[in-house]
Amino acid sequence: MRILSKPEVCIGCHLCEIWCAVAHSRSKDIIKAFLYEEPKPVSRIVVEDRMPVSFAIQCRNCDEPECVTACISGALYKDIDGRVVHDSSKCVGCYSCVMACPYGSIRIDKSTQKVVKCDLCDGDPVCVRICPNDALMIVEEGEAYEEV
């Protein structure tokens, strides 16, 4: 399973980033997470924009992930479903993966000095669910996508 970005309908609102951060916060409440929680939640998805072009990007779960190759502690690995998984307990915060990822999809959580990445929200990604313009979609392996 991968999340596909559709730049032709991405409106650059950044709501996916906000709700991703909430989904990975302690309270799961948007106001508590942003205004009161410490440390502040970190989004796993990033909207790249140079308007009018914009798109949201998160871990591509590459077939041959450079981050996994670069990881010095075995914290990043590819699981049997093909997902790139990050085991925070093994992460030493060397950021080799951050430098290796060609998509900039591994982010640094300054509070823990470790990295965070998209975990596909256990199969129901919040970014896809809340995108107001259907600019993100789930694509299963081998599925084709037709442009609007």
Pick the closer one to other proteins by CB: 35 or 80. Answer: 35
Pick the closer one to other proteins by CB: 17 or 68. Answer: 17
Eight-state DSSP code of residue 124: S
The three-state secondary structure class of 2 is: strand
Check: CB of residue 26 under 8 Å from CB of residue 37. Answer: yes
Q: What is the distance between the terminal CA atoms of the chain, rounded to a whole angstrom?
A: 21
CA distances (Å), origin 95, targets 45, 76, 129: 17, 11, 30
* Cβ 104 to other proteins shortest distance, Å: 20
* Cβ 62 to other proteins shortest distance, Å: 28
**Token pair recorded at residue 42:** 């970190």
Residues that bind other proteins (CB under 8 A): 8-15, 18-19, 30-31, 34-35, 51-52, 132-135, 148
| CA–CA distance, 77 with 130 (Å, rounded to integer) | 28
Pick the closer one to other proteins by CB: 91 or 135. Answer: 135
* Cβ 63 to other proteins shortest distance, Å: 29
Pick the closer one to other proteins by CB: 8 or 143. Answer: 8
* Cβ 27 to other proteins shortest distance, Å: 13
Pick the closer one to other proteins by CB: 87 or 134. Answer: 134
* Cβ 53 to other proteins shortest distance, Å: 9
CA distances (Å), origin 106, targets 70, 97, 119: 12, 7, 11
